[in-house]
Chains A and B, each alone.
Chain A
């Protein structure tokens, strides 16, 4: 049921290296990988939820051994093939066929505008069912309700837990649907705060808190 990317709360990852002074792109190819990925996104063949799901679908072995930008590259190659933008034979170095998407190529002079425009996720949608201060309980499983093994944004550590609504963000595109070609199905989005003791049993310090941003269908009313 779970996928390898859903690692919140996991044990065994060791210490963090804050590495002050690290350059933005440690290797030249890091910047290149980022840029190729953004440029391909501009071809309009997928949305951000599809691209996140492609990275999450890397095998656990690849996900663990790949660095951040290697995950991006692998997800990108898989997406390019799945959407028919390139073929596996082309990826493997075979003959290159022409594309019918060339008019969508992002030109240098368009870059600033595309990056500045962004891609907002808020939409017109139904009124929220919950109010600030309401107690809500999360789904007991972190699972996509439409597709087995599909994309979802409820972390496993926050399943079946009761928390309190602290922010409301209007209606946002539902990733569980948008990652799978099922439309945007916008739903009210909330920030829900959980007590660390309710999440972990024995928290590092009583009274500390964790919030998650959760769509309405992930939640039910709690008392």
Chain B
């Protein structure tokens, strides 16, 4: 990535079909989205530009290997090891990288800790930025217009739709991911988990609690 693209991209200004052309290039593809992907994939494969086995590998990575279990391991460790929690506060990118969690859409991580006085919640109003190496591919609700538009203006009504009711004296801070910083919410450790192993603790962590749309209730 870098300046070597500058010259290449400069020609976009002079393209006969720029992005603002009302007659976009995508309009010539088939209307059914599944066929649209197939048409693109077939064309690119015939041009020698994509390897279908690489596509399978990418899908398998995010369907099975990279997901919220990674973030849950980070949260469980933060609950169990105060020095790790401190390292997360100081430099979360380095702390999670030490656990093997780094990569695309997780190059710059900030961990935000819920406290009795402050509940943290994450949104990307401009697109759907999400910490992929820690939580995987975002769920539909995170990418929905309703969440993107409302989370910043009425987070408490949004939380109610997830079944979450905060105490009146708990402040909400909504983090709008407008740059390449990706936020991981560290939920408060639920009651009833004293003495649990990190593996047990990780199972109590929900994906949504790490985005801030869930609060972990007492465990039994």
- Which residues from chain A sit less than 8 Å from chain B, CB to CB? 5-11, 13-19, 22, 24-29, 31-36, 38-40, 43-48, 50, 52-55, 57-59, 62, 64, 67-70, 73-78, 80-83, 85-86, 88, 90-93, 96-99, 101-102, 104-108, 110-112, 114-122, 147, 149, 153-155, 157-158, 167, 169, 172-173, 175, 180-184, 189, 191, 193, 199-200, 204-205, 207-215
CB within 8 Å for A36 and B40 given contacts A82-B19, A153-B126, A181-B9: yes
A101 surroundings in chain B (CB, below 8 A): 49
Interface size on B, as a range, is 35 or more
Q: A153–B124 Cα gap in the complex (Å)?
A: 11
| Interfacial residues of chain B within 1-35, with CB under 8 A of chain A in the complex | 1-3, 5-13, 15, 17-20, 22, 24-26, 28-29, 33-34
CB within 8 Å for A8 and B213 given contacts A16-B147, A182-B6, A204-B153: no
Q: Is the CB of B108 within 8 A of A36?
A: no
**Closest 4 interchain pairs by CB?**
A181-B9, A8-B125, A57-B19, A213-B179
Q: Is the CB of B51 within 8 A of A155?
A: no
Of the A-B pairs whose beta carbons lie under 8 Å apart in the complex, a sample of 29, sorted by A's number, is: A8-B153, A16-B150, A16-B162, A19-B139, A25-B59, A25-B62, A31-B58, A31-B59, A47-B1, A48-B180, A73-B37, A82-B12, A107-B53, A108-B56, A115-B58, A116-B102, A118-B106, A118-B107, A118-B133, A119-B1, A119-B104, A120-B180, A122-B107, A175-B179, A181-B7, A181-B11, A183-B3, A184-B3, A209-B172
Interface centre among A59, A172, A205, A208 (most CB of B within 10 A): A208
B204 surroundings in chain A (CB, below 8 A): none
- Which residues from chain B sit less than 8 Å from chain A, CB to CB? 1-3, 5-13, 15, 17-20, 22, 24-26, 28-29, 33-34, 36-41, 43-44, 46-51, 53-59, 61-63, 66-67, 102-108, 110, 123, 125-128, 133, 136-137, 139-141, 143-150, 152-158, 161-163, 168, 171-181, 208, 213
Q: How far is the CB of A180 from chain B (nearest CB, A)?
A: 7
Q: Is the CB of B61 within 8 A of A112?
A: yes
Q: Is the CB of A16 within 8 A of B59?
A: no
Q: A74–B176 Cα gap in the complex (Å)?
A: 25
**Chain A, residue nearest B206 (CB):** A20
Q: Is the CB of B145 within 8 A of A7?
A: yes
Q: Is the CB of B9 within 8 A of A27?
A: no
A83 surroundings in chain B (CB, below 8 A): 8, 12
A107 surroundings in chain B (CB, below 8 A): 51, 53-54
Q: A184–B11 Cα gap in the complex (Å)?
A: 16
CB within 8 Å for A115 and B171 given contacts A52-B127, A181-B7, A213-B177: no
Q: Is the CB of A47 within 8 A of B108?
A: no
B26 surroundings in chain A (CB, below 8 A): 73-78, 91
Interface centre among B49, B55, B61 (most CB of A within 10 A): B49
Q: How far is the CB of B6 from chain A (nearest CB, A)?
A: 5
Q: How far is the CB of A91 from chain B (nearest CB, A)?
A: 5
B103 surroundings in chain A (CB, below 8 A): 115-118
B33 surroundings in chain A (CB, below 8 A): 29, 33, 67, 69-70, 73
Q: How far is the CB of B108 from chain A (nearest CB, A)?
A: 7
Q: Is the CB of B179 within 8 A of A172?
A: yes
Q: A111–B104 Cα gap in the complex (Å)?
A: 11
Q: Is the CB of A210 within 8 A of B152?
A: yes
Q: A213–B180 Cα gap in the complex (Å)?
A: 8
Q: How far is the CB of B68 from chain A (nearest CB, A)?
A: 10
